[in-house]
Amino acid sequence: MKKVRFIFMAIGIAAMTLAGCNSQGNGGSNGGALSSSVAEKVYVAPGEKDTYYGFLSGGYSGNLTVYGLPSGRLFKEIPVFSQFPTSGYGYSEETKPMLNTSHGFVPWDDLHHPDISQTNGELDGRWIFVNGNNTPRIARISLKTFETEEIIEIPNSAGNHSSSFVTENTEYVIAGTRFAVPVPQRDMPISEYKGNFKGALTFISVEPETGHMDIKFQIMMPGFDYDLSHPGRGNSHGWHFFSTYNTEEANSLLEVNASQNDKDFVAAVNWKKIEEYVKNGGGKKMPANYAVNRYDESTHSGSSEMMKEVLVVEPTEVEGAIFFMPMPKSPHGCDVDPSGEYIIGSGKLSSDVTVHSFTKMIDAIENKKFDGDAYGIPILKFEDVMAGVVKSGGLGPLHTEFDGEGNAYTTFFISSEVVKWKIGTWEVLDRKSTFYSVGHLMIPGGNSRKPHGKYLVAMNKITKDRYLPTGPEMEHSAQLFDISGDKMELLSDFPTHGEPHYAAGCRADLIAANSQKIYRLDDNKHPHAIKSPGEARVERNGNEVHVYMSMIRSHFTPDNIEGVKVGDKVYIHVTNHEQDFDVPHGIAVIGANTSEILVMPGQTKTTLWEPKQVGVWPFYCTDFCSALHQEMQGYIRVSPASSDIEISFSLGK
Amino acid sequence: MKHLKYIFISALSLSFLACQNAGNEGTTNTSESSDEVSYHEAGQAFVEDEVSDPNILQIAIGSADHSTLVAAVQATKLENALVNAGPLTVFAPTNAAFDALPEGTVENLLKTENLDQLAAILKHHVTPGNYDKEFLKNFKKLGQADDTDALVEVKGEDVYIGGAKIVASVKGSNGIVHVVDAVILPTSN
């Protein structure tokens, strides 16, 4: 019954919103954009550059997209958890190991929550971390090369959703499980979920120089769903806050059964305390099996190592480290303001945004004002920790970001709007409709001590009629707002790739100057690289044929190869000898069961070709590299398996 | 092969013409337009890049022996063509080679009304393709970027292009520069 009321409310509010948007969203016919010079605010003239980077999660594309703001222009799609034929990521021999897991080669994932590395609570622009939700993984992407450098699998986790948020000095990147599972995994009845399944919160240390990730410890929490999380900062640095739902521990029909409790929890974890405990020998090592995949820029190659154990801490082992703060209505977003004082929870089924105070939380803990416990973890009293409630009148709050000027911005999915409110007084200052049903939002630096402000990107889940129709399946839609004034101003719409679940952004100058142009050929340590065309050769080793090939405008060395036989595995190792910015070459061979590979200047990549038919088969450069690009081609002669033709190769003969 | 080369050449000259048209749009005939300047300075030749190996233009600029050539390239606004992806083979006459022309020739060509003629001469020093000295011996003539041919002669170890001798060669990121001891003048086809 209660549920039905919500639906009616939703319809009512949606109708109101719709009426409201007629004057605003569709205002173009009244000359809205022209009369208010909105177009100038997003127009980046040819040759001019955007002032902000936006890194948008690609959701089920498995990849991360890079946009310019305010133009909304797409600059790059960075392959992370999915095979990507555009560059050959996940197809080339060098990058296949990046997608290795304990489940074998997993060529897809659902990429969520990008978070840029921080120093002293401010974005430092070195790396961006993202999480794979489906087969739990965390990836680290270099913001110098814009390539995926590392992927670590998370054991004892499933639905890796309250991830991949970094602490103030990137000490840790944090990964919490959404789905509780048996730990260790075992064959048991699903109905015995309650009390038996666990929810692992994983703390992955980040080596300050290399960025290498390493699981320091896992906290084995009760089997709730850990939905989102954010780090403390300033005074609350050393704590991390996770929203939970399904504290009912239901294992079926969660839309009803996980909505029984009026309040779920925000779990407050003092990771510094647990780190100290672990440093002094605390915790237990348990057997595990998870992959750590690293890409080495100097060898242009990835490698995968299986790790065999993980350090586990039970929440009750460390006194004073973990507490539950009640939060109404199955909270989704769990955001921390720039000062670190306020923890904002957004109950998905609520109309209110509830704000807890870190100072009040500490006071309640010190005075042991507990209201019982859950599995031995003390529960604080709602009234003791609550700082305020934002009564917005919207419905379905999800996520909150900050502008650094004392304001917060919360998205409301059901009422399809962004609401601006004042931290401390909790008064609503402004509200703007989005089109339609906004999920995440991003203000550059909006999850740090010093937001960069200026713009807000609202990432909508529903597109419907915003663009020219493209059949039933459409890209999602983002809306850009100018937030530099008292009221938010809608500037533009732009389509986004896949389904963005959160984004990270920053001022362009933090990253642009460090962006790499080429790889130095003299620094190339790939075992199959050749540094000059004179080293080009073809070698047979049983039924493996290794081609050591170079490419330069506008030929391959060698470009004629004979002596290959049906049934051979032909590894073509190609080194791009260009040392010139933005001159990649590609290679594709007819009938290859992989993708092309795109090789950057100074880089070596390998594609595997397994010829199945006798003949003379061409290969060619796939990137229009030069005026004589069409001449950049060659042939491989494939003889019957029984042939005794020796390997030979040539160029220009 | 030859056919394609001509297509490339046409495309090159077309795009060059297009640049000039774009630059002149909306300006008067009498004064140098600021649009033109900004368009000109926005080409590939002006990309900030201290990491890549030097391209043909950068090699020429870096050579004290080629200041006349560089001045001519800049006057005719051909910089962007020389940093194009190419690949290009450029025959670069030394300052001495320009000095050897009849007195007043260079000054005359640098006059505004003669810049088209100068551009044609400069383009006669450019071959689409990346040919080292050894490989040039395979040719009887080269199809140059001004749409005319230059004769190739081999005398012992020496290679002459349109009568100019190759005295040194420098590889660039987008092709190769052959230093020549004379200005190669186009002959009518």
Q: Is A626 on the interface with B (CB under 8 A)?
A: yes
Mean pLDDT of B180-184: 96
Contact across the interface for A581 and B52, Cβ inside 8 Å: yes
Instruction: Report how far residue A361's alpha carbon sits from residue A268's, in angstroms, rounded to the nearest whole number.
Output: 9
Mean pLDDT of A51-78: 98
Could you tell me how many helices (H) and strands (E) chain B has, helices first? Answer: 9, 7
Is the separation of the CB atoms in A326 and A222 below 8 Å? no
Between CA A216 and CA A484, with CA A164 as vertex, the angle to 5 degrees is 140
Which residues, in sequence order, are CB contacts of B148 under 8 Å at separation 6+?
A: B124, B186, B187, B188, B189
By Cβ distance, the residue of B8, B84, B173 closest to A579 is: B173
Record the tokens describing residue A364, joined without a space.
Answer: 């309640």
Between CA A350 and CA A258, with CA A10 as vertex, the angle to 5 degrees is 45
> Has residue A606 got a pLDDT over 60?
yes
Mean pLDDT of A629-653: 95
Percent of chain A with pLDDT strictly greater than 90: 89
C-alpha distances (whole Å) from A40 to each of A23, A33, A201, A577, A604 are 21, 9, 46, 43, 44
Among chain A residues, CA nearest to B39: A47
- Which of A603, A628, A629 best tests the B interface by mutation, with the highest count of B CBs <10 A? A628
- Cβ neighbours of B175 in A, within 8 Å: 553
The residue ranges of DSSP E strands in A314-466, in sequence order, are 322-328, 331-336, 342-347, 352-357, 370-374, 377-380, 386-391, 397-402, 407-412, 417-422, 428-433, 438-442, 455-460
Record the tokens describing residue A81, joined without a space.
Answer: 């958890």
- State how beta strands A604-609 and A597-599 pair: unpaired
Binned at pLDDT 50, 70 and 90, residue B106 comes out as: very high
Among chain B residues, CA nearest to A601: B52
Q: Is B17 on the interface with A (CB under 8 A)?
A: no
Axis crossing angle, helix B2-24 with helix B34-41, rounded to the nearest 10: 140
Q: Is B129 on the interface with A (CB under 8 A)?
A: yes
- Which of B2, B50, B52, B82 best tests the A interface by mutation, with the highest count of A CBs <10 A? B52
Instruction: Report how far residue A605's alpha carbon sits from residue A598's, in angstroms, rounded to the nearest whole number.
Output: 8
Q: Determine phi and psi for A591, rounding to 5 degrees.
A: 75, 5
- State how beta strands A438-442 and A455-460 pair: antiparallel
By Cβ distance, the residue of A517, A518, A580 closest to B174 is: A580
Binned at pLDDT 50, 70 and 90, residue B46 comes out as: confident
Q: How many C-beta atoms surround the C-beta of residue B118 within 10 A?
A: 19
The 3-state DSSP composition of chain A as helix, strand, coil percent (nearest 5) reads 15, 45, 40
pLDDT at A18: 41
Helix (H, G, I), strand (E, B), or coil: what is residue B11? helix
Contact across the interface for A627 and B128, Cβ inside 8 Å: yes
> Has residue B34 got a pLDDT over 70?
no
Mean pLDDT of A487-501: 96
By Cβ distance, the residue of A47, A553, A631 closest to B85 is: A553
Which secondary-structure segment (H or E) carries A496?
strand A489-496
Flag the least confident range among A255-259, B159-163, B180-184: A255-259
Q: Is B162 on the interface with A (CB under 8 A)?
A: no
Q: In the A/B pair of chains, how many CB contacts fall below 8 A?
A: 52
Q: How far is B99 from chain A (nearest CA, A)?
A: 33
pLDDT at B26: 36
Mean pLDDT of A284-306: 98
The residue ranges of DSSP E strands in A143-297, in sequence order, are 148-153, 165-166, 172-176, 198-206, 213-222, 225-231, 239-245, 263-270, 284-296
Predicted TM-score of the model (pTM): 0.88
Distance between start and end Cα atoms, chain B: 20
pLDDT at B33: 40
Contact across the interface for A553 and B51, Cβ inside 8 Å: no
pLDDT single digits (tens) A533-556: 999 999 999 999 999 999 999 899
Flag the least confident range among A270-274, A448-452, B34-38: B34-38
Which secondary-structure segment (H or E) carries B74?
helix B67-75
Average of per-residue pLDDT values in chain B: 80
Q: Is A512 on the interface with B (CB under 8 A)?
A: no
Binned at pLDDT 50, 70 and 90, residue A35 comes out as: low
- Cβ neighbours of A580 in B, within 8 Å: 52-53, 55, 173-174
By Cβ distance, the residue of A47, A552, A581 closest to B51 is: A581
Instruction: Report how far residue B130's alpha carbon sits from residue B139's, in angstroms, rounded to the nearest whole number.
Output: 13
Q: How many C-beta atoms surround the C-beta of residue B5 within 10 A?
A: 18
pLDDT at B40: 52
Prior bond of A378 cis (ω within 30°): no
- Which of A581, A603, A625 best tests the B interface by mutation, with the highest count of B CBs <10 A? A581
Among chain B residues, CA nearest to A48: B42
> Has residue B10 got a pLDDT over 60?
no
Residue A341, exposed/middle/buried by CB under 10 A (0-12, 13-18, 19+)? buried
Among chain A residues, CA nearest to B85: A626
Is the separation of the CB atoms in B119 and B144 below 8 Å? no
Q: How many C-beta atoms surround the C-beta of residue B65 within 10 A?
A: 15
Chain A 413-432, CB below 8 Å of chain B: which residues?
none
By Cβ distance, the residue of A47, A517, A553 closest to B87 is: A553
- The full 3-state SS of A276-306, as one line of letters, equals HHHHCCCCEEEEEEEEEEEEECCCCEEEEEE
Q: Is B52 on the interface with A (CB under 8 A)?
A: yes
Contact across the interface for A47 and B52, Cβ inside 8 Å: no
pLDDT single digits (tens) A185-223: 999 999 999 999 999 999 999 999 999 999 999 999 999
Among chain A residues, CA nearest to B12: A627
Is the separation of the CB atoms in A58 and A77 below 8 Å? yes
Q: Spell A620-649 as b/e; 16+ CB within 10 A means b.
A: bbbbebbbbbebbebebbbbeeeeeeeeeb
pLDDT at A132: 98
By Cβ distance, the residue of B42, B47, B85 closest to A625 is: B85
- Which of A554, A626, A653 best tests the B interface by mutation, with the highest count of B CBs <10 A? A626
Q: How far is B8 from chain A (nearest CA, A)?
A: 7
pLDDT at B41: 63
Q: Is B47 on the interface with A (CB under 8 A)?
A: yes
For residue A317, give the amino acid letter: E
pLDDT at A277: 98
Helix (H, G, I), strand (E, B), or coil: what is residue A88? coil
pLDDT at B13: 37
Question: Which is nearest to A515 in space by CA: A581, A606, A589?
Answer: A581
By Cβ distance, the residue of B42, B51, B129 closest to A628 is: B129
Which residues, in sequence order, are CB contacts of A48 under 8 Å at separation 6+?
A: none
Mean pLDDT of A400-424: 96
Q: Is A517 on the interface with B (CB under 8 A)?
A: yes
Binned at pLDDT 50, 70 and 90, residue B47 comes out as: confident
Contact across the interface for A583 and B85, Cβ inside 8 Å: yes
By Cβ distance, the residue of A581, A625, A628 closest to B49 is: A581
* Residue with tokens 């048991």, as numbered in its chain: A188
Which secondary-structure segment (H or E) carries A358?
helix A358-366
Binned at pLDDT 50, 70 and 90, residue A653 comes out as: confident
Q: Determine phi and psi for A109, rounding to 5 degrees.
A: -155, 175
pLDDT at B30: 39
pLDDT single digits (tens) A11-30: 444 444 443 333 344 434 44
For residue A214, give the amino acid letter: D
Instruction: Report how far residue A606's alpha carbon sits from residue A590's, in angstroms, rounded to the nearest whole number.
Output: 16
